[in-house]
Structure 1
């Protein structure tokens, strides 16, 4: 069993950048509520700008750059996937629904058989 590698933030610069990113996002939220008397677009701009600045600073750190590389690799892998045709997807869906119906009937028969065995045969209830 392989253990997945865990990436940790090792340098104080990365820790500082991630902390600054979190503080910028929090500043955007605080600004949104602090500007309560202002127009909605000013409050929204504070929220959006704080969030964008925080994410940008976070992505400039080493873990952020690693996340960007992971996202790019994931996108490349998703493009390699061969998706089923509409006909194949429909057939597979119908097979799954058919199996669900068969299992529902089977479980209902099992339930009624156990119910009959316990209440009628063993306890003698009618």
Structure 2
């Protein structure tokens, strides 16, 4: 009995997703078909159609899982301890200083290797 209910739910989910895709494609087609109208009106219409398609898609089991995932992700982001402005500035300064030091070291080694190559090739006269 449960397997039949799951199959029916799955078929309904597929139908809902197909309806959402068809609605979205119709909205896109209308956006370009009515190119004589104001862009603002067409964009608002496209946003309304997209919201409707999204609402239909969220009624499926995949849509509910996606909404639950988004809610869980939002809750996790709220738990993050973000660095203060001072910590961010100090870390940025350390990164800049290390990049400059590493750049100078690489420039020094490059200069030495270039001098060696010029000496070996005979252009370093």
TM range (shorter): 0.7 to 0.9
Deviation at 1:61, TM superposition (A): 1.1
Contact 1:26/1:50 (<8 A) preserved: no
Instruction: Give the secondary-structure state (helix, strand or coil) at the position aligned to 1:82.
Output: coil
> Whose helix proportion is higher, 1 or 2?
2
Whether the 8 Å contact between 1:59 and 1:68 is mirrored in structure 2 is yes
* Number of residues of Structure 1 aligned to a counterpart in Structure 2: 116
Note if 1:96 corresponds to 2:113: no
2:56 equivalent in structure 1:
57
Residue deviations 1:19-70 (CA, integer Å, cap 9, x gap): 2212211111111111123344442333122211111111111111111101
TM-score relative to the length of structure 2: 0.83
For residues 50-94 of structure 1, give each alpha carbon's deviation from its aligned partner in whole angstroms, at most 9, with x where no partner exists: 211111111111111111101111111111111111111111110
Q: Are positions 1:87 and 2:86 aligned together?
A: yes
Q: 1:111 to 1:42 in 2, by over 3 A?
A: same
Within a 5 Å distance, the mapping from 1:1-126 to structure 2 comes to 11-120=10-119, 122-126=120-124
- Structure 2 distance, partners of 1:73, 1:27, is 32
Instruction: Give 3-state SS (helix, strand or coil) of 1:11's partner.
Output: helix
Q: Following superposition, which runs of at least 4 residues in structure 1 exceed 4 angstroms of deviation?
A: none
Return the alpha-carbon distance in structure 1 between the equivalents of residues 52 and 116 of structure 2: 68
Superposition RMSD on alpha carbons, in Å? 1.7
The TM-score with structure 1 as length reference comes to 0.82
The gaps in structure 2 that reach 5 residues or longer are: 1-8
